[in-house]
Amino acid sequence: MNAVRTIIGMSGGVDSSVAALRLRDAGEPIAGLFMQNWADDGSGDCRAEDDRRDAVAVCGRLGMPIHFRDFSKEYWDGVFAHFLAEYAAGRTPNPDVLCNREIKFKYFLDAAYELGAEFIATGHYARVAEIDGQFRLLKAADRSKDQSYFLHQLGQKQLSATKFPLGELIKADVRDMARDAGLPTHAKKDSTGICFIGERDFRDFLARYLPARAGEMRTPAGHVLGEHPGVFYFTLGQREGLNIGGVRGFEPAPWYVVGKDVANNVLYVDQGVDSPFLHSRTLWSEGAHWIAGAPPASRFRCNAQTRYRQPDQTCEVIVSSDGTLEVRFADPQRAVTPGQSLVLYDGDVCLGGAVIAATDAVLEQRIKEHAA
Active site residues: 99, 195
d(CA 238, CA 240): 6
CB atoms under 10 Å from CB of 331, counted, come to 10
Q: For residues 132-147, b (16+ Cβ closer than 10 Å) or e, as one string?
A: eeebbbbbbbbeebbb
What phi and psi values does residue 154 have, to the nearest 5 degrees?
-75, 155
d(CA 124, CA 145): 9
d(CA 237, CA 171): 29
What phi and psi values does residue 258 have, to the nearest 5 degrees?
-120, -5
What phi and psi values does residue 35 have, to the nearest 5 degrees?
-100, 125
CB atoms under 10 Å from CB of 221, counted, come to 7
SS3 for 303? strand
For residue 164, which of 174, 179, 178, 176 has the smallest C-alpha distance?
A: 174
Contact, 171 vs 190, CB < 8 A?
no
**For 136, left (φ over 0), alpha (ψ -120 to 50), or beta?**
beta
d(CA 5, CA 8): 10
Helix, strand, coil % over all residues of the chain, rounded to 5: 30, 30, 45
d(CA 135, CA 32): 24
